[in-house]
Amino acid sequence: MKTDNKPTLDISVVVPLYNEAESLPELEAWIARVMKANGFSYEVIFVDDGSTDDSWQVIRGLQRKNRAVRGVSFRRNYGKSPALNTGFGLTRGNVVITMDADLQDSPDEIPELYRMITVEGYDMVSGWKQKRYDPLSKTIPTKLFNATARKVSGIRNLHDFNCGLKAYRSEVVKHIEIYGDMHRYIPYLAKNAGFGKIGEKVVHHQARKYGVSKFGLDRFVNGYLDLVTLWFTSKFGAKPMHFFGLLGSLMFALGFVSAVVVGAMKLYRMWHGMTYALVTDSPYFYLALTLMILGSQFFLAGFIGELVTRNAVGRNHYEIAEILTDDEE
């Protein structure tokens, strides 16, 4: 969901949530205090991801007391990425801040995040919870996950890709699409969209005050698979033949050469009167045949991928930063 809302406010705060009714009043009051103290014009967009508690009723009550509060309610639970994508489409702020609803992210970080975007010129600033109040079962996999994400994405300066507290220029959130579970890789998505000035800020991490975490260890497995998908689509999404065609050609060539060697060895033994076995008795013949078949299938997969890409609606969609015309002086 994307709209053409023009920035009319200083800050938009997007808060995805699921069953966080207890923490919402405290979070909204905290954000309001920070905004008032710094003189920011703002809005808070709560995206209720199909909560089964009273979260939506609480949001309605907060909106009646504070007109800066806006809300979206999903009919069922879709996940954090759809919630963020929907919230981004509704933002009207020059700077967009995202944070979790569980009070583990501090709104006191907002002024400095805003300054880094507007003064230092970052496209995006990601929080780094350097000191975490999480068990080892969560912190150790998180470190491994972030190390892998840094290596694959090439964004070496980020320590915490999945931190919910981030800041963006409005243009960034209007030019990226978050789907599935890709919220973990928003910095990578931003980089692929041409927004390369990505910074990091050490932020305060607070222990959870209400409720329990909604995420299990399966997110690390899914996160790895999503990272592979994102890497592949960013490298070969518009040119699948460069991957499948090359891999298929190499496999076919290796299989073909192996089959020739097996046949040549039999002919050599026949020519010199040596005992020989049938080609089909050799396991290497079947390995060679398997490589040739797989190579052909990979090549055809790349060819079909090219046909699909050629007819895709967005095949010539490019992110344009600026256009100069002869009307400009």
- Tens digit of pLDDT for each residue in 216-232? 556 666 767 777 777 77
Question: What pTM does this model have?
Answer: 0.74
- What DSSP line would sit under 190-251, residue for residue? HHHTT---EEEEE--BPPP-SS-----THHHHHHHHHHHHHHHHHHHTT-THHHHHHHHHHH
CA atoms within a 13 Å half-sphere pointing along the CA-CB vector of 137: 5
CB 221 within 8 A of CB 148: no
Does residue 214 register a pLDDT over 80? no
Cβ burial of 80 (10 Å; 0-12, 13-18, 19+) is buried
What is the predicted pLDDT for the residue at 1? 52
- Mean pLDDT across 277-288: 83
Q: How many CB atoms lie within 10 A of CB 200?
A: 20
Q: What is the pLDDT of residues 98-143, one digit of tens each?
A: 999 999 899 999 999 999 999 999 999 999 987 766 666 666 777 7
| Closest among 39, 188, 7 to 110, alpha carbons compared | 39
CA distance linking residue 56 with residue 62, whole number of Å: 10
**Amino acid identity, residue 253?**
A
CB 71 within 8 A of CB 46: yes
* Structure tokens, 40: 């920011």
- What DSSP line would sit under 41-61, residue for residue? -EEEEEEE-S-SSSHHHHHHH
- Mean pLDDT across 14-25: 95
